Structure 1
Amino acid sequence: MAMSLFDLPPIPDIPVLGEGEGYPVRRIFCVGRNYAAHAAEMGYEVDRESPFYFTKSPANMVLTGAATPYPGGTEDYHFEIELAVAMGAEVFQCTPEEGAAAVYGYCAALDMTRRDLQIRERTKLRPWSLGKDVEQSAVFAPITKAADFTPGAQRIWLDQNGETKQDSTLDLLVHKVPEIIAHLSTFYHLRPGDLIMTGTPENVGPVQPGDVLEAGVEGLSPISLTITEMA
Protein backbone atom coordinates (compact mmCIF):
# COMPACT_ATOMS: atom_id res chain seq x y z
CA MET A 1 0.00 0.00 0.00
CA ALA A 2 1.32 3.44 -0.94
CA MET A 3 2.20 5.85 1.84
CA SER A 4 0.09 9.00 2.21
CA LEU A 5 1.60 12.28 1.10
CA PHE A 6 0.58 13.91 4.38
CA ASP A 7 -1.36 13.20 7.57
CA LEU A 8 -4.87 14.49 8.08
CA PRO A 9 -5.85 15.97 11.44
CA PRO A 10 -7.91 13.49 13.46
CA ILE A 11 -11.68 13.92 13.77
CA PRO A 12 -12.56 13.98 17.48
CA ASP A 13 -14.65 11.18 18.90
CA ILE A 14 -17.73 12.32 20.81
CA PRO A 15 -17.56 11.24 24.47
CA VAL A 16 -20.24 8.79 25.61
CA LEU A 17 -21.55 8.97 29.16
CA GLY A 18 -20.53 5.88 31.10
CA GLU A 19 -18.03 4.69 28.47
CA GLY A 20 -14.27 4.96 28.30
CA GLU A 21 -14.30 4.97 24.50
CA GLY A 22 -15.72 7.70 22.28
CA TYR A 23 -18.16 7.61 19.38
CA PRO A 24 -16.32 8.07 16.04
CA VAL A 25 -18.13 10.24 13.50
CA ARG A 26 -18.57 9.05 9.92
CA ARG A 27 -21.15 11.44 8.44
CA ILE A 28 -23.35 14.30 9.63
CA PHE A 29 -26.84 14.69 8.16
CA CYS A 30 -29.00 17.69 9.09
CA VAL A 31 -32.77 18.08 8.79
CA GLY A 32 -33.94 21.46 7.55
CA ARG A 33 -36.96 23.41 8.84
CA ASN A 34 -38.23 20.73 11.19
CA TYR A 35 -40.04 23.10 13.59
CA ALA A 36 -43.00 24.98 12.12
CA ALA A 37 -42.15 28.21 13.94
CA HIS A 38 -38.57 28.18 12.68
CA ALA A 39 -39.72 27.51 9.12
CA ALA A 40 -42.05 30.51 9.46
CA GLU A 41 -39.28 32.82 10.69
CA MET A 42 -37.25 31.76 7.65
CA GLY A 43 -40.19 32.72 5.43
CA TYR A 44 -41.53 29.23 4.68
CA GLU A 45 -44.42 26.97 5.58
CA VAL A 46 -43.09 23.73 6.98
CA ASP A 47 -43.20 20.71 4.65
CA ARG A 48 -45.14 18.06 6.55
CA GLU A 49 -44.96 15.52 3.71
CA SER A 50 -41.28 14.67 3.99
CA PRO A 51 -38.11 16.03 5.57
CA PHE A 52 -35.21 17.44 3.57
CA TYR A 53 -31.52 17.38 4.36
CA PHE A 54 -28.16 19.05 4.05
CA THR A 55 -24.81 17.82 5.34
CA LYS A 56 -21.88 19.02 7.40
CA SER A 57 -18.36 17.61 7.12
CA PRO A 58 -17.06 15.66 10.13
CA ALA A 59 -13.81 17.62 9.66
CA ASN A 60 -15.78 20.73 10.69
CA MET A 61 -16.96 19.38 14.05
CA VAL A 62 -15.79 20.37 17.54
CA LEU A 63 -16.83 19.37 21.04
CA THR A 64 -18.65 21.33 23.70
CA GLY A 65 -16.51 23.85 25.56
CA ALA A 66 -14.67 24.90 22.41
CA ALA A 67 -13.71 28.49 21.61
CA THR A 68 -14.10 28.98 17.86
CA PRO A 69 -13.29 32.06 15.76
CA TYR A 70 -15.93 34.06 13.97
CA PRO A 71 -15.76 32.71 10.40
CA GLY A 72 -14.76 34.63 7.32
CA GLY A 73 -17.10 35.68 4.56
CA THR A 74 -20.10 36.50 6.73
CA GLU A 75 -21.64 39.33 8.71
CA ASP A 76 -24.53 37.26 10.06
CA TYR A 77 -23.32 34.13 11.88
CA HIS A 78 -26.21 32.38 13.68
CA PHE A 79 -26.74 29.85 16.45
CA GLU A 80 -29.11 26.87 16.18
CA ILE A 81 -29.60 24.38 19.03
CA GLU A 82 -30.62 20.87 17.97
CA LEU A 83 -31.16 17.31 19.15
CA ALA A 84 -28.66 14.99 17.44
CA VAL A 85 -29.16 11.27 16.92
CA ALA A 86 -26.21 8.85 16.84
CA MET A 87 -26.78 5.68 14.86
CA GLY A 88 -25.70 2.38 16.38
CA ALA A 89 -26.68 -0.19 13.76
CA GLU A 90 -26.93 -0.41 9.99
CA VAL A 91 -30.35 0.19 8.43
CA PHE A 92 -31.47 0.56 4.83
CA GLN A 93 -35.05 1.13 3.67
CA CYS A 94 -36.18 0.47 7.22
CA THR A 95 -39.45 1.05 9.03
CA PRO A 96 -39.74 3.75 11.71
CA GLU A 97 -39.72 1.03 14.35
CA GLU A 98 -36.51 -0.45 12.93
CA GLY A 99 -35.01 3.03 12.74
CA ALA A 100 -35.75 3.74 16.40
CA ALA A 101 -34.19 0.42 17.41
CA ALA A 102 -31.00 1.30 15.51
CA VAL A 103 -30.28 4.46 17.55
CA TYR A 104 -27.16 4.31 19.72
CA GLY A 105 -27.80 7.53 21.59
CA TYR A 106 -28.64 11.22 21.63
CA CYS A 107 -26.85 14.48 22.33
CA ALA A 108 -27.30 18.24 22.16
CA ALA A 109 -25.67 19.91 19.17
CA LEU A 110 -25.14 23.35 17.65
CA ASP A 111 -25.57 23.96 13.92
CA MET A 112 -23.73 27.26 13.50
CA THR A 113 -24.73 28.96 10.24
CA ARG A 114 -23.53 31.78 7.98
CA ARG A 115 -27.11 32.96 7.54
CA ASP A 116 -26.41 35.67 4.98
CA LEU A 117 -24.61 33.19 2.74
CA GLN A 118 -27.29 30.55 3.20
CA ILE A 119 -30.01 33.01 2.15
CA ARG A 120 -27.94 34.36 -0.73
CA GLU A 121 -27.32 30.90 -2.16
CA ARG A 122 -30.91 29.81 -1.50
CA THR A 123 -32.19 32.86 -3.41
CA LYS A 124 -30.03 31.84 -6.39
CA LEU A 125 -31.30 28.24 -6.13
CA ARG A 126 -27.79 27.03 -5.29
CA PRO A 127 -26.61 24.64 -2.55
CA TRP A 128 -26.27 25.90 1.02
CA SER A 129 -22.73 24.59 1.60
CA LEU A 130 -21.11 28.01 2.15
CA GLY A 131 -23.77 28.83 4.72
CA LYS A 132 -23.89 25.51 6.54
CA ASP A 133 -20.68 23.51 6.13
CA VAL A 134 -18.58 26.06 7.98
CA GLU A 135 -15.31 25.31 9.75
CA GLN A 136 -15.93 24.38 13.42
CA SER A 137 -19.67 24.86 12.97
CA ALA A 138 -20.92 21.44 14.11
CA VAL A 139 -20.65 21.34 17.91
CA PHE A 140 -21.54 18.27 19.98
CA ALA A 141 -22.08 17.54 23.66
CA PRO A 142 -21.45 14.04 25.11
CA ILE A 143 -23.79 11.29 23.98
CA THR A 144 -26.36 9.70 26.27
CA LYS A 145 -27.22 6.12 25.32
CA ALA A 146 -30.67 5.46 23.91
CA ALA A 147 -31.56 3.23 26.87
CA ASP A 148 -31.33 6.31 29.10
CA PHE A 149 -33.19 8.84 26.93
CA THR A 150 -36.33 8.79 24.79
CA PRO A 151 -37.29 11.94 22.87
CA GLY A 152 -40.66 13.26 23.98
CA ALA A 153 -41.64 16.71 25.21
CA GLN A 154 -38.28 17.62 26.76
CA ARG A 155 -37.24 21.25 26.75
CA ILE A 156 -34.70 22.39 24.14
CA TRP A 157 -33.13 25.79 24.82
CA LEU A 158 -30.25 28.18 24.14
CA ASP A 159 -28.90 31.11 26.16
CA GLN A 160 -26.69 33.80 24.64
CA ASN A 161 -24.59 35.64 27.25
CA GLY A 162 -27.04 34.51 29.92
CA GLU A 163 -30.19 35.59 28.05
CA THR A 164 -32.58 32.92 26.83
CA LYS A 165 -33.04 33.09 23.06
CA GLN A 166 -34.40 29.71 21.98
CA ASP A 167 -36.89 27.86 24.19
CA SER A 168 -39.09 25.05 22.87
CA THR A 169 -39.89 21.35 23.31
CA LEU A 170 -39.00 18.26 21.31
CA ASP A 171 -42.62 17.27 20.77
CA LEU A 172 -42.84 20.19 18.32
CA LEU A 173 -40.50 18.41 15.91
CA VAL A 174 -42.56 18.04 12.74
CA HIS A 175 -40.75 14.88 11.65
CA LYS A 176 -39.96 12.66 14.63
CA VAL A 177 -36.75 10.67 15.01
CA PRO A 178 -38.06 7.24 13.86
CA GLU A 179 -39.67 8.77 10.76
CA ILE A 180 -36.53 10.75 9.92
CA ILE A 181 -34.37 7.63 10.09
CA ALA A 182 -36.81 5.60 7.99
CA HIS A 183 -37.02 8.34 5.35
CA LEU A 184 -33.26 8.99 5.21
CA SER A 185 -32.60 5.25 4.96
CA THR A 186 -34.38 5.16 1.62
CA PHE A 187 -31.44 7.14 0.21
CA TYR A 188 -28.46 5.96 2.31
CA HIS A 189 -27.25 2.86 4.08
CA LEU A 190 -27.14 4.36 7.58
CA ARG A 191 -24.41 2.91 9.78
CA PRO A 192 -22.76 3.41 13.16
CA GLY A 193 -20.89 6.70 13.10
CA ASP A 194 -23.68 8.51 11.26
CA LEU A 195 -25.17 11.49 13.10
CA ILE A 196 -28.50 13.13 12.32
CA MET A 197 -29.15 16.67 13.54
CA THR A 198 -32.93 16.93 13.73
CA GLY A 199 -33.57 20.68 13.30
CA THR A 200 -33.79 23.82 15.40
CA PRO A 201 -36.70 25.69 16.99
CA GLU A 202 -37.49 29.34 16.39
CA ASN A 203 -35.60 32.44 17.51
CA VAL A 204 -32.26 31.70 15.90
CA GLY A 205 -30.04 34.75 15.88
CA PRO A 206 -26.61 36.27 15.30
CA VAL A 207 -23.48 36.03 17.41
CA GLN A 208 -20.50 38.34 17.82
CA PRO A 209 -16.94 37.74 19.03
CA GLY A 210 -16.98 37.45 22.81
CA ASP A 211 -20.40 35.79 22.95
CA VAL A 212 -20.89 32.71 25.10
CA LEU A 213 -23.58 30.21 24.10
CA GLU A 214 -24.97 27.77 26.65
CA ALA A 215 -27.66 25.38 25.51
CA GLY A 216 -29.11 21.95 25.91
CA VAL A 217 -31.87 19.40 25.76
CA GLU A 218 -33.53 18.41 29.03
CA GLY A 219 -32.16 15.04 30.12
CA LEU A 220 -28.94 15.29 28.07
CA SER A 221 -25.53 16.83 28.77
CA PRO A 222 -25.50 20.60 28.12
CA ILE A 223 -23.41 22.26 25.43
CA SER A 224 -21.39 25.47 25.38
CA LEU A 225 -19.47 27.47 22.80
CA THR A 226 -17.46 30.69 22.96
CA ILE A 227 -17.08 32.85 19.85
CA THR A 228 -13.68 34.53 19.50
CA GLU A 229 -12.28 37.09 17.09
CA MET A 230 -11.78 36.05 13.47
CA ALA A 231 -8.52 34.15 13.13
Structure 2
Amino acid sequence: MSTRVYQLPVLQAKGASFGVNKIICIGRNYAEHAREMGHDPEREPPFFFFKPQSALAQNHRDFIYPHFSQQVEHELELVIAIGKSGAQIAAADAADYVFGVAVGLDMTCRDRQKEAKQLGRPWELAKGFDGSAPCTAILPITFSELSQFGDLVLTRNGKEVQRGNWRSMVWSVPELIVEVSRYIKLDAGDLIFTGTPAGVGPVQPGDELVARLEGFPEELRLRVVAAQA
Protein backbone atom coordinates (compact mmCIF):
# COMPACT_ATOMS: atom_id res chain seq x y z
CA MET A 1 0.00 0.00 0.00
CA SER A 2 1.27 3.46 -0.88
CA THR A 3 2.13 5.79 2.00
CA ARG A 4 1.93 8.97 -0.06
CA VAL A 5 -0.76 11.41 1.07
CA TYR A 6 -2.32 14.39 -0.67
CA GLN A 7 -3.40 17.51 1.17
CA LEU A 8 -6.67 19.36 0.53
CA PRO A 9 -7.91 21.40 -1.22
CA VAL A 10 -5.16 21.17 -3.85
CA LEU A 11 -3.47 18.00 -2.81
CA GLN A 12 0.29 17.97 -3.21
CA ALA A 13 3.00 15.74 -1.80
CA LYS A 14 6.32 14.46 -3.08
CA GLY A 15 5.85 16.05 -6.49
CA ALA A 16 2.34 14.66 -7.04
CA SER A 17 -0.89 16.62 -6.97
CA PHE A 18 -4.61 16.04 -6.79
CA GLY A 19 -6.73 19.10 -7.57
CA VAL A 20 -10.17 18.82 -6.03
CA ASN A 21 -13.03 19.31 -8.46
CA LYS A 22 -16.64 18.49 -7.49
CA ILE A 23 -17.71 17.45 -4.00
CA ILE A 24 -20.57 14.96 -4.29
CA CYS A 25 -22.40 13.86 -1.14
CA ILE A 26 -24.62 10.79 -0.87
CA GLY A 27 -27.72 10.87 1.31
CA ARG A 28 -29.14 8.09 3.52
CA ASN A 29 -26.67 5.37 2.56
CA TYR A 30 -26.80 3.48 5.87
CA ALA A 31 -30.07 1.82 6.93
CA GLU A 32 -29.77 2.72 10.64
CA HIS A 33 -29.13 6.37 9.80
CA ALA A 34 -32.17 6.39 7.53
CA ARG A 35 -34.24 5.07 10.44
CA GLU A 36 -32.91 7.63 12.92
CA MET A 37 -33.84 10.40 10.48
CA GLY A 38 -37.37 9.02 10.16
CA HIS A 39 -37.06 7.45 6.69
CA ASP A 40 -37.73 4.01 5.29
CA PRO A 41 -34.40 2.13 5.10
CA GLU A 42 -35.48 0.05 2.11
CA ARG A 43 -32.96 0.10 -0.72
CA GLU A 44 -33.89 2.89 -3.12
CA PRO A 45 -31.92 4.68 -5.82
CA PRO A 46 -29.29 6.83 -4.11
CA PHE A 47 -29.69 10.59 -4.15
CA PHE A 48 -26.89 13.08 -3.93
CA PHE A 49 -26.16 16.76 -3.52
CA PHE A 50 -23.12 18.98 -3.92
CA LYS A 51 -20.89 21.09 -1.73
CA PRO A 52 -18.74 23.92 -3.15
CA GLN A 53 -14.96 23.79 -2.92
CA SER A 54 -15.15 26.47 -0.20
CA ALA A 55 -16.73 23.81 2.03
CA LEU A 56 -13.43 21.91 2.19
CA ALA A 57 -11.41 22.30 5.36
CA GLN A 58 -8.02 20.73 5.93
CA ASN A 59 -7.24 18.59 8.93
CA HIS A 60 -6.39 20.20 12.28
CA ARG A 61 -8.31 23.38 11.43
CA ASP A 62 -10.92 24.97 13.67
CA PHE A 63 -14.53 24.47 12.63
CA ILE A 64 -16.26 27.84 12.85
CA TYR A 65 -19.79 27.36 14.18
CA PRO A 66 -22.00 29.19 11.66
CA HIS A 67 -23.71 32.21 13.16
CA PHE A 68 -26.98 31.51 11.31
CA SER A 69 -27.64 28.14 12.95
CA GLN A 70 -28.52 26.91 16.42
CA GLN A 71 -28.28 23.18 15.61
CA VAL A 72 -25.14 22.02 13.82
CA GLU A 73 -24.64 18.26 13.64
CA HIS A 74 -21.74 15.99 12.72
CA GLU A 75 -21.99 13.31 10.02
CA LEU A 76 -19.01 10.95 9.76
CA GLU A 77 -18.17 9.73 6.24
CA LEU A 78 -15.81 7.65 4.14
CA VAL A 79 -14.59 9.84 1.26
CA ILE A 80 -13.71 8.40 -2.13
CA ALA A 81 -11.39 10.31 -4.47
CA ILE A 82 -11.98 9.77 -8.19
CA GLY A 83 -8.90 9.33 -10.37
CA LYS A 84 -10.19 9.58 -13.94
CA SER A 85 -13.09 10.90 -15.98
CA GLY A 86 -16.08 8.88 -17.08
CA ALA A 87 -19.82 8.94 -17.70
CA GLN A 88 -22.33 6.09 -17.82
CA ILE A 89 -19.69 3.92 -16.16
CA ALA A 90 -20.22 0.17 -16.37
CA ALA A 91 -20.41 -1.81 -13.13
CA ALA A 92 -17.44 -3.94 -14.17
CA ASP A 93 -15.26 -0.83 -14.55
CA ALA A 94 -16.40 1.24 -11.56
CA ALA A 95 -13.72 0.16 -9.08
CA ASP A 96 -11.02 1.33 -11.50
CA TYR A 97 -12.14 4.93 -10.98
CA VAL A 98 -11.10 4.94 -7.31
CA PHE A 99 -7.94 6.99 -6.79
CA GLY A 100 -7.89 6.79 -3.01
CA VAL A 101 -9.78 7.33 0.23
CA ALA A 102 -10.02 9.82 3.07
CA VAL A 103 -12.06 10.42 6.23
CA GLY A 104 -14.45 13.37 6.25
CA LEU A 105 -17.30 15.05 8.06
CA ASP A 106 -20.45 16.44 6.50
CA MET A 107 -21.24 19.22 8.97
CA THR A 108 -24.94 20.07 8.73
CA CYS A 109 -27.09 22.94 9.97
CA ARG A 110 -30.01 20.70 10.87
CA ASP A 111 -32.34 23.51 11.85
CA ARG A 112 -31.83 25.31 8.54
CA GLN A 113 -32.25 22.04 6.67
CA LYS A 114 -35.56 21.28 8.41
CA GLU A 115 -36.79 24.81 7.82
CA ALA A 116 -35.97 24.61 4.10
CA LYS A 117 -37.71 21.24 3.77
CA GLN A 118 -40.84 22.58 5.44
CA LEU A 119 -40.89 25.52 3.02
CA GLY A 120 -40.22 23.30 0.02
CA ARG A 121 -36.96 25.10 -0.69
CA PRO A 122 -33.46 23.80 -1.52
CA TRP A 123 -31.29 23.13 1.53
CA GLU A 124 -27.81 23.76 0.09
CA LEU A 125 -27.16 26.43 2.74
CA ALA A 126 -27.53 23.81 5.46
CA LYS A 127 -24.88 21.60 3.85
CA GLY A 128 -22.64 23.80 1.73
CA PHE A 129 -21.50 26.61 4.00
CA ASP A 130 -17.80 27.44 4.28
CA GLY A 131 -15.83 24.79 6.16
CA SER A 132 -18.68 22.26 6.19
CA ALA A 133 -16.56 19.46 4.70
CA PRO A 134 -13.50 18.84 6.90
CA CYS A 135 -11.36 16.08 5.43
CA THR A 136 -8.09 14.24 6.02
CA ALA A 137 -5.43 13.86 3.40
CA ILE A 138 -6.17 11.32 0.67
CA LEU A 139 -4.41 7.98 0.80
CA PRO A 140 -4.09 6.63 -2.76
CA ILE A 141 -5.20 3.00 -2.80
CA THR A 142 -7.17 0.71 -5.07
CA PHE A 143 -10.73 -0.26 -4.21
CA SER A 144 -9.60 -3.78 -3.29
CA GLU A 145 -7.14 -2.32 -0.76
CA LEU A 146 -10.02 -0.64 1.05
CA SER A 147 -10.79 -4.06 2.54
CA GLN A 148 -7.92 -3.69 5.03
CA PHE A 149 -9.75 -0.91 6.89
CA GLY A 150 -12.38 -1.38 9.57
CA ASP A 151 -15.01 0.78 11.21
CA LEU A 152 -15.53 4.49 10.89
CA VAL A 153 -15.44 6.00 14.40
CA LEU A 154 -16.14 9.51 15.69
CA THR A 155 -15.52 10.77 19.21
CA ARG A 156 -16.72 14.05 20.68
CA ASN A 157 -14.72 15.23 23.70
CA GLY A 158 -13.28 11.73 24.04
CA LYS A 159 -16.66 9.92 23.98
CA GLU A 160 -17.59 7.72 21.06
CA VAL A 161 -20.70 9.08 19.33
CA GLN A 162 -20.66 7.42 15.89
CA ARG A 163 -19.46 4.04 14.70
CA GLY A 164 -20.26 2.18 11.50
CA ASN A 165 -18.62 -0.06 8.97
CA TRP A 166 -18.38 1.13 5.38
CA ARG A 167 -19.27 -2.41 4.29
CA SER A 168 -22.77 -1.73 5.66
CA MET A 169 -23.50 1.00 3.14
CA VAL A 170 -26.79 0.46 1.31
CA TRP A 171 -25.00 1.28 -1.95
CA SER A 172 -21.38 0.13 -2.22
CA VAL A 173 -18.59 2.33 -3.54
CA PRO A 174 -18.66 0.83 -7.07
CA GLU A 175 -22.45 1.07 -7.14
CA LEU A 176 -22.31 4.73 -6.14
CA ILE A 177 -19.83 5.44 -8.92
CA VAL A 178 -22.13 3.77 -11.43
CA GLU A 179 -25.24 5.57 -10.20
CA VAL A 180 -23.71 9.05 -9.97
CA SER A 181 -22.16 8.70 -13.43
CA ARG A 182 -25.62 8.02 -14.87
CA TYR A 183 -26.49 11.67 -14.24
CA ILE A 184 -23.21 13.60 -14.25
CA LYS A 185 -19.77 13.01 -15.67
CA LEU A 186 -17.26 12.09 -13.00
CA ASP A 187 -13.88 13.77 -13.35
CA ALA A 188 -10.44 13.23 -11.90
CA GLY A 189 -10.40 15.30 -8.74
CA ASP A 190 -13.98 14.62 -7.69
CA LEU A 191 -14.67 13.60 -4.10
CA ILE A 192 -17.60 11.42 -3.11
CA PHE A 193 -18.73 11.65 0.52
CA THR A 194 -20.41 8.26 0.75
CA GLY A 195 -22.98 8.83 3.51
CA THR A 196 -23.02 8.60 7.28
CA PRO A 197 -23.79 5.78 9.70
CA ALA A 198 -26.21 6.20 12.60
CA GLY A 199 -25.34 8.42 15.54
CA VAL A 200 -25.39 11.91 14.05
CA GLY A 201 -25.63 14.53 16.75
CA PRO A 202 -25.07 18.14 17.76
CA VAL A 203 -21.81 19.97 18.30
CA GLN A 204 -21.17 23.09 20.35
CA PRO A 205 -18.30 25.57 20.57
CA GLY A 206 -15.56 24.04 22.67
CA ASP A 207 -16.12 20.50 21.41
CA GLU A 208 -13.20 18.44 20.15
CA LEU A 209 -14.00 15.98 17.36
CA VAL A 210 -11.78 13.09 16.26
CA ALA A 211 -12.83 11.02 13.24
CA ARG A 212 -10.99 7.93 12.11
CA LEU A 213 -11.16 4.86 9.92
CA GLU A 214 -9.69 1.86 11.69
CA GLY A 215 -6.32 1.09 10.10
CA PHE A 216 -6.16 4.41 8.22
CA PRO A 217 -2.92 6.33 8.86
CA GLU A 218 -4.47 9.70 9.72
CA GLU A 219 -7.19 10.89 12.09
CA LEU A 220 -9.36 13.91 11.34
CA ARG A 221 -9.17 16.30 14.27
CA LEU A 222 -10.98 19.58 14.71
CA ARG A 223 -12.08 21.96 17.40
CA VAL A 224 -15.45 23.69 17.23
CA VAL A 225 -15.19 27.42 17.86
CA ALA A 226 -17.78 30.19 17.96
CA ALA A 227 -17.99 32.63 15.07
CA GLN A 228 -16.48 36.03 15.73
CA ALA A 229 -19.05 38.70 16.51
Q: Normalising by the residue count of structure 1, what TM-score does the alignment of the two structures yield?
A: 0.89
CA distance in 1, matches of 2:50, 2:197: 18
**Structure 1 runs not aligned, ≥5 long:** 1-10
Match of 2:125, SS state, is helix
The worse-fitting range, judged by mean Cα deviation, of 94-103 and 206-215 is 94-103
CA distance in 2, matches of 1:153, 1:64: 20
Runs of 4 or more consecutive aligned structure 1 residues displaced over 6 Å after TM superposition: none
Number of equivalenced pairs: 219
1:54-133 matched pairs, under 5 angstroms: 54-133=49-128
Structure 1 residue aligned with 2:133:
138
Query: Do 1:60 and 1:136's aligned partners in 2 also have CA atoms closer than 8 Å?
Result: yes
Q: Pick one of 216, 219, 225 that aligns with 1:222.
A: 219
Structure 2 residue aligned with 1:6:
none
1:167-186 matched pairs, under 5 angstroms: 167-186=163-182
| Deviation of the 1:152 alpha carbon | 7.4
The amino acid across from 2:73 in the alignment is H
CA distance in 2, matches of 1:73, 1:26: 27
| Deviation of the 1:22 alpha carbon | 3.6
Query: Do 2:72 and 2:202's aligned partners in 1 also have CA atoms closer than 8 Å?
Result: yes
| Deviation of the 1:121 alpha carbon | 1.1
Over aligned residues, Cα RMSD in angstroms?
1.7
Query: Do 1:83 and 1:107's aligned partners in 2 also have CA atoms closer than 8 Å?
Result: yes
CA distance in 2, matches of 1:96, 1:63: 32
| Deviation of the 1:23 alpha carbon | 1.9
1:20-35 matched pairs, under 5 angstroms: 20-35=15-30
Structure 2 residue aligned with 1:50:
45
Q: Normalising by the residue count of structure 2, what TM-score does the alignment of the two structures yield?
A: 0.90
Question: Does structure 1 residue 203 correspond to structure 2 residue 212?
Answer: no
**Structure 2 runs not aligned, ≥5 long:** 1-7
Query: Do 1:207 and 1:227's aligned partners in 2 also have CA atoms closer than 8 Å?
Result: yes
